[in-house]
Structure 1
């Protein structure tokens, strides 16, 4: 396992192992949770990595119920549980994130590679601070959010970009953007031109590839924005899909396979990465 592992990743790995042990013991979630003082829903969220068991005693009792008697196995799981209790860097922003987002944000920090498709707005990790702020401010009166809420969202978005710029193992990023996402006016022409320049600069990084899907191309386009995260070692890939007012995060093989296929088809249909800087330059000139 790679050295860089956040608490969210550990919670996910612990949850998957606890689910495997429960199923091996022939117990339902309800049967496993019975008598522990917490709900079936809570245990389900532990198994999916959204939460962890706050008390060591509960973890030990659960291992007893699952029949885990090997000393080394128990110790490894208890260490994983202890590590899963650590605070995540994004914890101060939890109250501004929609359901499912905390799990995804925590996992993306440990991703080796990221592949994403965005058709409506510029992909979040490529957004400039000005673009992100303008986008959230536009929605502010409709969503009835506060200025503080907007600023926290912008700060979170800027902080998340470190996975691209960090010196130690930056994420390998492949992005496909629909032309409409780039043409949709956000903020002002000045903000849009700065956004085009920022994407072009990002394309100069060896580990970043951006392709554009022109509106004139009659080719397949996925209906929802999605991102696929790949990890080092044997950790399962994860797919995140934008849905109304929330996001979906899963590592189910069928879902990951479907979105891998969708991405590959769109990658083949989009303009070559070498065409991206020129396309962005043309868009900027149109706004001059």
Structure 2
């Protein structure tokens, strides 16, 4: 692993920079407005009355749900009497929140709704921990391996059609946007040991995939570890369904997030942003869900994984197996 400071001590990517995504800007806009409201000692209901909107409208704005409206954002900034620097930040974030995500035009029809939030945030992370129970993680798949995975999920008549090409192009572009950045996130990739033997294609597909993983494992910012078949892991829906991810955004950035994927759905759990008043109260069930899923991911990594050195040897064996 890289010798960089741990993610919580590293600065976040610029939240109002040119690479800021629509999803990230929308969330950061809400957090900024919430911070200004709390500094003004106003409740959501009090602010809503001042700007002549409903309390749910303020709530949705602060939680980053939906696309914000200029009239509402400007009225809120005026009601809160924010200073020039805060107003400029709010308006920059608002304009970024109106821009489309990278997948919204060309890939809109093939992007599952449950995946859109993840696609809009992962390129902003400075640290990723991924867990996959069945296949090589999507961000690490070769085009040939990805094509085999995608093809098996399509109807036979779609194998040589435009949907096949679009899904593969989207996966390749996603990899470039996350791992192909000039400053890519640090990545800890956990995969089930069975991935080393599970065929998604012939040797001509499997061997290059294993070689690719072996090359990635030597990069200073990537750690690949395999969850051993005889390792004990907590068996619940999140750990057995297929994929989990922790996204860390760094100091001054978005709240850290855990993503848990199920069959045709996904759940998102954000690290709670709590005021002094909220910290004095017991954690809500939603806050506990974040902590529970994070601890599960940490336990998989700490209790059931081969070391990075042993995992590289396992990849060497897999390369020989498919040769």
Q: Does 1:209 align with 2:227?
A: no
TM-score (norm 1): 0.83
Shift of 1:238: 1.1
Shift of 1:34: 7.9
In structure 2, what is the equivalent of residue 284 of structure 1?
Answer: 319
Distance of 1:244 and 1:29 partners within structure 2: 40
CA contact (8 A) 2:207 2:319 kept: yes
Distance of 2:252 and 2:229 partners within structure 1: 38
TM-score (norm 2): 0.75
Structure showing greater relative contact order (alpha-carbon pairs closer than 8 Å, 6 or more residues apart) = 2
Unaligned runs of 5+ in 2: 1-11, 273-287
| Alpha-carbon distance change, 145 to 43 in structure 1, aligned in 2, over 3 angstroms | farther
Pick aligned residue for 2:108 from 94, 97, 108? 94
| Alpha-carbon distance change, 131 to 50 in structure 1, aligned in 2, over 3 angstroms | farther
In structure 2, what is the equivalent of residue 190 of structure 1?
Answer: 204
May I ask how many residue pairs the two structures share in their alignment?
281
Q: How large is the RMSD of aligned CA atoms in angstroms?
A: 3.3
In structure 1, what is the equivalent of residue 153 of structure 2?
Answer: 139
Matches for 1:57-206 after TM superposition, within 5 Å: 57-63=71-77, 67-72=79-84, 73-92=86-105, 93-141=107-155, 147-162=161-176, 163-166=178-181, 168-206=182-220
Q: Does 1:230 align with 2:241?
A: no
Q: Does 1:13 align with 2:28?
A: yes
Q: Does 1:266 align with 2:278?
A: no
Distance of 1:9 and 1:183 partners within structure 2: 37
CA contact (8 A) 1:129 1:158 kept: yes
Secondary structure at the aligned position of 2:113 is classed as: coil
Distance of 1:9 and 1:19 partners within structure 2: 15
CA contact (8 A) 1:12 1:48 kept: yes
CA contact (8 A) 2:44 2:59 kept: no
Shift of 1:103: 2.0
CA contact (8 A) 1:100 1:249 kept: no
In structure 1, what is the equivalent of residue 45 of structure 2?
Answer: 27
| Alpha-carbon distance change, 189 to 52 in structure 1, aligned in 2, over 3 angstroms | same
1:2-48 deviation digits (Å, cap 9, x = unpaired): 33551321111113344564994342999899868xxx6x8766544
